Amino acid sequence: MFSLEGMTALVTGASGGIGSSIARSLASQGARLALSGSNAAKLRAFREELNDEYGHDHVEITCDLSNTTQVEELVPATVDTLGKIDILVNNAGVTRDNLAMRMKDEEWDAVMKINLEAAFRLMRASARPMMKARFGRIVTITSVVGATGNPGQMNYAAAKAGLVGMTKAFAQEVASRGITANCVAPGFIRTAMTDVLPDAQKDALNARIPMGRMGEGTDIGAAVAYLASKEAGYVTGQTLHVNGGMAMLS
């Protein structure tokens, strides 16, 4: 079940903590991947690792999501390289945290450009080849803070909430062509960044989670693999919250 054999996927932010878990999950189910990110060396090393572990001759495509020209070229480059695009995973994102009264215009603009606008451009670009194939899966990584808010993250919360609304609109536009569009909203996920937090801070975070622990990247990867599968063909315009019960949203 949930086999992705014969399918291709573009994953942005693929060499990061959650992005690499998503890529591993898709590759383990048989998908061939175009791994995208801004760090060419990290991407190349990760691609070689995936090729050794799962085969399928995965490729890497360097892209700076703050550069509109590079973003517009990413989906065509994926189709040229892999022959088609079945799955788009909008995972890449940045934070520029600050309290609202101190937030600089450039902090707001950077988060909107990378987290929201780039996802829109990639969804728009993928629509044509997916509509022609009458099949497609778009999975966008949002965040629990897009639903709950978070002090110091007005820009990030706004962008993540925007992704949910954008996905719902897009899902309605392309549903008749066999294309689904959904979101996965992680809560607190254990990554290299959270590993270095002081134990007291980790304990405080875990106390907010009914399961008493942070999630793992594999939890997000599994959710994405399901939504990318043919079995999820009747699920669209939805947000799957993966947060250990921290925010029980419907």
Residue 73: what pLDDT? 97
Q: Give the residue among 101, 215, 90, 222 at the shortest CA–CA distance from 159.
A: 90
Residue 1: what pLDDT? 67
Residue 202: what pLDDT? 84
Q: Give the residue among 222, 212, 211, 217 at the shortest CA–CA distance from 189.
A: 217
pLDDT digits (tens, 9 = 90+) for 77-97: 999 999 999 999 999 999 999
pTM: 0.95
The answer to whether residue 226 is catalytic is no
- DSSP codes, 214-245: -B-HHHHHHHHHHHHSGGGTT--S-EEEESTT
Under 8 Å between Cβ of 121 and 171: no
End-to-end CA distance of the chain: 26
Under 8 Å between Cβ of 123 and 170: yes
Domain range 8-242, CATH class: alpha beta
Under 8 Å between Cβ of 66 and 125: no
Residue of 54, 156, 226, 234 marked active site: 156
Residue 172: what pLDDT? 98
Domains of the chain by residue range: 8-242
Q: How is residue 189 annotated by DSSP?
A: B
- Provide CB contacts within 8 A for 167, sequence distance 6+: 138, 140, 181, 182, 183, 237, 239
Please give the chain's pLDDT, 250 residues, in tens.
689 999 999 999 998 889 999 999 999 999 999 999 999 999 999 999 999 999 889 999 999 999 999 999 999 999 999 999 999 999 999 999 999 999 999 999 999 999 999 999 999 999 999 999 999 999 999 999 999 999 999 999 999 999 999 999 999 999 999 999 999 999 999 887 778 778 888 888 899 999 999 999 999 999 999 999 999 999 999 999 999 999 998 7
Under 8 Å between Cβ of 51 and 27: no
Tell me the pairing of strands 87-90 and 32-37: unpaired
Q: How is residue 102 annotated by DSSP?
A: G
